Protein backbone atom coordinates (compact mmCIF):
# COMPACT_ATOMS: atom_id res chain seq x y z
CA UNK A 1 0.00 0.00 0.00
CA UNK A 2 1.45 3.34 -1.05
CA UNK A 3 -0.07 5.75 1.52
CA UNK A 4 0.10 8.75 -0.80
CA UNK A 5 -2.31 10.61 1.45
CA UNK A 6 0.05 10.65 4.45
CA UNK A 7 1.80 13.82 3.24
CA UNK A 8 -1.60 15.50 2.83
CA UNK A 9 -3.31 14.28 5.98
CA UNK A 10 -0.50 15.12 8.41
CA UNK A 11 1.97 17.96 8.75
CA UNK A 12 5.66 17.42 8.12
CA UNK A 13 7.11 15.65 11.15
CA UNK A 14 9.76 17.29 13.28
CA UNK A 15 13.36 16.58 12.38
CA UNK A 16 14.75 13.36 13.80
CA UNK A 17 17.20 13.50 16.68
CA UNK A 18 19.41 10.98 18.45
CA UNK A 19 16.61 10.44 20.96
CA UNK A 20 13.87 9.81 18.37
CA UNK A 21 11.95 6.60 18.93
CA UNK A 22 11.72 3.86 16.32
CA UNK A 23 8.05 4.80 15.79
CA UNK A 24 9.04 8.40 15.10
CA UNK A 25 11.74 7.23 12.69
CA UNK A 26 9.31 4.94 10.86
CA UNK A 27 6.68 7.66 10.61
CA UNK A 28 9.26 10.18 9.37
CA UNK A 29 10.45 7.74 6.69
CA UNK A 30 6.86 6.98 5.58
CA UNK A 31 5.95 10.68 5.47
CA UNK A 32 9.05 11.56 3.44
CA UNK A 33 8.27 8.78 0.93
CA UNK A 34 4.64 9.85 0.64
CA UNK A 35 5.65 13.47 0.14
CA UNK A 36 8.35 12.66 -2.43
CA UNK A 37 6.11 10.36 -4.51
CA UNK A 38 3.14 12.74 -4.34
CA UNK A 39 5.28 15.63 -5.57
CA UNK A 40 6.77 13.49 -8.32
CA UNK A 41 3.35 12.40 -9.61
CA UNK A 42 1.86 15.90 -9.43
CA UNK A 43 4.83 17.43 -11.25
CA UNK A 44 4.61 14.73 -13.94
CA UNK A 45 1.02 15.61 -14.83
CA UNK A 46 1.40 19.40 -14.78
CA UNK A 47 1.70 20.90 -18.25
CA UNK A 48 5.13 22.35 -19.02
CA UNK A 49 3.75 25.81 -19.77
CA UNK A 50 2.21 25.95 -16.28
CA UNK A 51 5.12 24.45 -14.32
CA UNK A 52 7.15 27.64 -14.63
CA UNK A 53 4.42 29.66 -12.90
CA UNK A 54 4.31 27.44 -9.80
CA UNK A 55 6.83 28.39 -7.10
CA UNK A 56 9.29 25.66 -6.13
CA UNK A 57 8.48 23.72 -2.96
CA UNK A 58 9.51 20.41 -1.45
CA UNK A 59 6.17 19.84 0.30
CA UNK A 60 3.27 18.15 -1.52
CA UNK A 61 0.60 19.79 0.64
CA UNK A 62 2.15 23.20 0.01
CA UNK A 63 2.37 22.44 -3.73
CA UNK A 64 -1.40 21.85 -3.84
CA UNK A 65 -2.00 25.11 -1.94
CA UNK A 66 0.25 26.98 -4.39
CA UNK A 67 -1.69 25.54 -7.32
CA UNK A 68 -4.98 26.49 -5.67
CA UNK A 69 -3.75 30.03 -5.01
CA UNK A 70 -2.46 30.27 -8.56
CA UNK A 71 -5.84 29.20 -9.91
CA UNK A 72 -7.53 31.98 -7.92
CA UNK A 73 -5.00 34.70 -8.77
CA UNK A 74 -6.17 37.64 -10.87
CA UNK A 75 -2.90 37.67 -12.81
CA UNK A 76 -3.16 34.03 -13.86
CA UNK A 77 -4.70 32.68 -17.02
CA UNK A 78 -7.83 31.23 -15.44
CA UNK A 79 -8.36 28.57 -18.07
CA UNK A 80 -4.86 27.15 -17.62
CA UNK A 81 -5.05 27.20 -13.84
CA UNK A 82 -8.51 25.65 -13.88
CA UNK A 83 -7.27 22.94 -16.20
CA UNK A 84 -4.35 22.28 -13.88
CA UNK A 85 -6.57 21.95 -10.81
CA UNK A 86 -8.94 19.68 -12.71
CA UNK A 87 -6.06 17.53 -13.88
CA UNK A 88 -4.52 17.23 -10.42
CA UNK A 89 -7.84 16.37 -8.79
CA UNK A 90 -9.01 13.83 -11.37
CA UNK A 91 -5.81 12.15 -12.58
CA UNK A 92 -5.64 8.41 -11.79
CA UNK A 93 -2.59 8.93 -9.57
CA UNK A 94 -4.16 11.89 -7.79
CA UNK A 95 -4.02 11.69 -4.00
CA UNK A 96 -7.81 11.93 -3.95
CA UNK A 97 -8.07 8.61 -5.75
CA UNK A 98 -5.36 6.67 -3.90
CA UNK A 99 -6.24 5.40 -0.46
CA UNK A 100 -5.06 2.32 1.31
Domain range enclosing 66: 18-97
Give me the mean pLDDT over the 14-43 stretch: 94
pTM above threshold 0.75: no
> Does residue 28 fall inside a structural domain?
yes
Q: Name every residue whose Cβ is closer than 8 Å to that of residue 20 and which is 6 or more positions away in sequence.
A: 28
Residues 40 and 46: their CA atoms lie apart, in Å, by: 10
Is residue 2 assigned to a domain? Answer: no
Mean pLDDT of the chain: 81
How many structural domains compose the chain?
Answer: 1
% of residues, the chain, pLDDT over 90 = 42
Asked if the structure places residue 5 within a domain, the reply is no
User: Would residue 7 count as lying in a domain?
Assistant: no
In a domain, 76, yes or no: yes
Amino acid sequence: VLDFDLAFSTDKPAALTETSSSDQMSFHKAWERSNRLSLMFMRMIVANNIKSTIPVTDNAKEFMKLVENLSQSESTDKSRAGTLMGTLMSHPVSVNNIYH
